[in-house]
């Protein structure tokens, strides 16, 4: 019984992390702020960069955002993903208001 309990706890711990990845191409400011090392200013900068330059192709692309360097990217680790950049660009184009 004790082994089963330990196994269940380990499964929950490791599976929770797999579902926690935040897609930086679609995340809201609030979702970005849940990430370690990302506060309101950096979250806003990520969104502004994404709106101006399009979707991120890789997580390392965050280095182009003001205030985010290699240390922050390393700290984020597996908690972020880029999903599918082409889908994100298409969605942004459809939902972006006309100027």
Domains detected in the chain? 18-93 (1.10.150.320)
- What burial letters (b/e) apply to 5-28, b meaning 16+ CB within 10 Å? eeeeeeeeeeeeeeeebbbbbbbe
Per-residue pLDDT of the chain (99 residues; tens, 9 = 90+): 777 667 666 665 555 444 569 999 999 999 999 999 999 999 999 999 999 999 999 999 999 999 999 999 999 999 999 987 555 444 445 445 454
């Amino acid at each position: 019984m004790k082994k089963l309990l330990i196994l269940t706890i380990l499964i929950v711990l490791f599976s929770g992390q797999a579902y926690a990845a935040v897609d930086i191409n679609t995340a809201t400011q609030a979702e970005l702020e849940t990430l370690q090392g990302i506060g309101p200013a950096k979250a806003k900068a990520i969104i502004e960069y994404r709106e101006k330059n399009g979707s991120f192709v890789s997580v390392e692309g965050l280095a182009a955002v003001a205030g985010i360097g290699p240390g922050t990217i390393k700290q984020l680790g597996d908690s972020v993903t880029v999903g599918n950049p082409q889908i994100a660009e298409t969605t942004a184009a459809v939902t972006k208001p006309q100027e």
